[in-house]
């Protein structure tokens, strides 16, 4: 089974990748289309030139790997995808053969976390609008990262049940430090997860937020939240 996990940045997506990798029966791939996205758009990102140099930048080659055999002969393949990477000219037809899962987070939290790493984000940068489009095209399961943090075992069991794989408590913890599958960008973005050995506790109150970016993201978030697995 191939699992395409769609998530905007700062949404618990790396922790979820580590969780699935900890199962032992699941290969993982960290943001396969990041380099093609940067190469095609010319958008400036932290470590952008290094990302393009270190990773496959041809979107057709990446898409072929997404559609190809699961690495290491494992039965499961977790692909961590950012919806905003899927710009015109980057193939998406491979996703029809995947179990599509949409990881969401309240935009007040996601935007604040993102801005600590990269200033002045746009709606495209944080992925909500493109994620709704992908959900409308391929469907799938929606799960809120805040619910996972509040009850990791319960929500991971629900997710596994909905995508028809066996849950294991191995998904609840992982060794501190990075993984060999991390993209080169890990040194900029993954400091917190590299110091972790499992899911953080429940998040605090939703911070106050306002402005056009937040309002636009909140509108898209609500569309997906209506479809999310209940806690």
Digit-by-digit pLDDT tens for the chain (231 residues) are: 999 999 988 789 999 999 999 999 999 999 999 999 999 999 999 999 999 999 999 999 999 999 999 999 999 999 999 999 999 999 999 999 999 999 999 998 888 877 777 777 888 888 899 999 999 999 999 999 999 999 999 999 999 999 999 999 999 999 999 999 999 999 988 988 899 999 988 888 888 878 898 899 999 999 999 999 998
pLDDT for 126: 81
Tokens 């909500």 belong to residue: 128
pLDDT for 140: 97
Smallest CA-to-CA distance from 217 within 132, 100, 115 is with 132
Q: What phi, psi does 152 have (nearest 5°)?
A: -55, -50
Residue 184 contacts residue 133 (beta carbons within 8 Å):
no
**Cβ partners under 8 Å of residue 61, min gap 6:** none
pLDDT for 122: 86
Cα–Cα dist 127/82, whole Å: 7
Q: Take residue 95 and report the two structure tokens written for it.
A: 């996703």
Residue 223 contacts residue 132 (beta carbons within 8 Å):
yes
């Amino acid at each position: 089974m191939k699992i395409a996990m769609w998530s905007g940045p700062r949404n618990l997506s790396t922790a979820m990748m580590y969780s699935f990798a900890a199962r032992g029966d699941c290969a993982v791939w960290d943001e396969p289309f990041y380099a093609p996205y940067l190469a095609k758009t010319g958008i400036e990102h932290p470590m952008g030139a290094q990302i393009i140099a270190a990773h496959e930048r041809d979107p057709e080659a990446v898409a072929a790997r997404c559609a190809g055999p699961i690495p290491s002969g494992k039965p499961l393949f977790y692909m961590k995808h950012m919806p905003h990477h899927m710009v015109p000219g980057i193939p998406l037809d491979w996703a029809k053969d995947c179990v599509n899962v949409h990881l969401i987070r309240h935009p007040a939290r996601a935007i604040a976390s993102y801005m600590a790493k990269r200033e002045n984000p746009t709606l495209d940068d944080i992925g909500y609008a493109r994620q709704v489009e992908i959900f409308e095209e391929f469907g799938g399961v929606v799960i809120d990262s805040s619910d996972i943090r509040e009850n990791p075992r319960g929500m991971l069991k629900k997710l596994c049940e909905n995508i028809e794989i066996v849950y294991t408590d191995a998904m609840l913890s992982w060794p501190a430090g990075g993984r060999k599958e991390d993209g080169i960008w890990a040194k900029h973005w993954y400091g917190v997860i590299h110091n972790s050995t499992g899911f953080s506790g429940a998040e605090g109150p939703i911070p106050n937020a306002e402005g056009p970016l937040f309002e636009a993201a909140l509108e898209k978030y609500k569309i997906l939240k209506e479809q999310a697995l209940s806690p």
